[in-house]
């Protein structure tokens, strides 16, 4: 029974890894990355709500006088 010749395995595996690396580099180089993010200046809108025009007070139930 003949033995398996493994003398070419190193060259085959090395060339395969090198080829995969090159293919990966080519794919990554074609990607379009977004530019640096720039802050968006939002205009300040003053919305008038009905509850903003009057003063309101919120009572906690524990602060109310206790009725017996």
Backbone φ and ψ of 24, nearest 5°: -60, -45
Q: Round to whole Å and give the CA distance between 3 and 14.
A: 22
Output the pTM of the full model: 0.44
Q: What is the pLDDT of residues 10-64, one digit of tens each?
A: 999 999 999 999 999 999 999 888 788 777 776 666 666 666 555 656 666 666 6
Say what the pLDDT of residue 47 is. Answer: 63
SS3 33: coil
Helix (H) or strand (E) holding 10: helix 9-29
Residue 5's Cβ-side half-sphere holds a number of Cα atoms within 13 Å equal to: 4
Q: Round to whole Å and give the CA distance between 23 and 49.
A: 60
């Amino acid at each position: 029974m003949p033995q398996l010749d493994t003398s070419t395995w190193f060259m085959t595996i090395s060339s395969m890894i090198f080829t995969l690396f090159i293919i990966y580099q080519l794919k990554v180089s074609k990607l379009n990355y977004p530019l640096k993010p720039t802050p968006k200046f939002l205009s300040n809108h003053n919305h008038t709500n009905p509850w903003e025009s009057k003063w309101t007070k919120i009572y906690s139930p524990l602060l109310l006088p206790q009725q017996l």
